[in-house]
């Protein structure tokens, strides 16, 4: 139960309109559970499967809403007033939820960590989707909330262009290789002419 509660704790500390709310955690017989806010809508990943790329105004709206959520997360303090240094560690299109009424929410804080927690396992170090990890995070080096912003930038780039910045093969051959330079993209094939 201790590990489960530790997994659930970061979500319980967050109350923001752009973050999926954790409503309850508990245990029924031998099964642990977490009750989360239900979001009627779809994930950014699902939207990108049918509408790729997204209009720049939509991407800007998503980025603004999630930027506010991450700013809130990064500024959280403990009950004693100490900075928690929360890091989501898994910002990616499937965890970006878009409600039918236009809300944008960041979900899945189950892999989030606060700097005040001691790491329990080596496997705990690298967590998140490979194509959305900051280089230092992928290498298992210390990282902070800037890794969330890096991942958000990668997700927004994908939403805007219809393509990932890094292919999985780029990550597999060596984390930190420079991405494709923007000037190598043909802007008119990605965005409509102004």
Query: What is the token pair recorded at 168?
Result: 């999985």
Determine whether 124 is an active site residue. Answer: no
Listed ranges 28-37, 49-58, 160-169; the one with the highest mean pLDDT: 49-58
Angle at 120 between CA 97 and CA 129, to 5 degrees: 30
- Output 131 or 115, whichever has higher pLDDT: 131
Alpha-carbon dihedral sign for residues 53, 188, 58, 150: positive
Higher pLDDT: 177 or 40? It is: 40
Least-confidence region, from 38-47, 105-114, 124-133, 172-181: 172-181
Each residue's pLDDT tens digit, 57-98: 999 999 999 999 999 999 998 888 888 888 888 899 999 999
| 56 SS3 class | helix
Structure tokens at 58: 């939509």
pLDDT at 168: 65
**pLDDT band with cut points at 50, 70 and 90 for residue 183:** low
pLDDT higher than 90, residue 121:
no
CATH topology of domain 39-177: Transferase(Phosphotransferase); domain 1 (1.10.510)
Report DSSP state, residue 113: B
User: What's the confidence (pLDDT) of residue 192?
Assistant: 56
pLDDT one-digit tens code per residue, 144-167: 899 999 999 999 999 999 988 876
Is residue 51 a contact partner of residue 20, using CB atoms and an 8 Å limit?
no
Which two tokens mark 24?
């309850």
Choosing from 90, 108, 124, 144, the catalytic residue is 90
């Amino acid at each position: 139960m201790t590990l489960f509660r530790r997994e659930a704790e970061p979500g319980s500390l967050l109350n923001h309109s752009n973050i999926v709310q954790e409503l309850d955690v508990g245990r029924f017989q031998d099964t642990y559970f977490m009750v989360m806010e239900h979001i009627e809508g779809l994930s950014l990943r699902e939207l990108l499967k049918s509408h790729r790329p997204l209009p720049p105004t939509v991407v800007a709206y998503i980025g603004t809403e999630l930027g506010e959520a991450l700013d809130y997360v990064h500024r959280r303090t403990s009950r004693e007033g100490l900075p928690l240094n929360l890091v989501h560690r898994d910002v990616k299109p499937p965890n970006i939820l878009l409600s039918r009424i236009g809300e944008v929410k960041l979900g899945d804080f189950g892999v989030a960590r606060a700097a005040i927690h001691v790491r329990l396992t080596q496997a705990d170090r690298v967590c998140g989707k490979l194509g959305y990890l900051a280089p230092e995070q992928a290498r298992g080096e210390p990282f902070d909330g800037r890794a969330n912003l890096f991942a958000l930038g990668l997700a927004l780039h994908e939403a805007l262009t219809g393509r990932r910045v890094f292919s999985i093969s780029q990550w597999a051959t060596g984390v930190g290789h420079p991405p494709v330079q923007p000037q190598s993209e043909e802007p008119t094939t990605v965005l409509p002419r102004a």
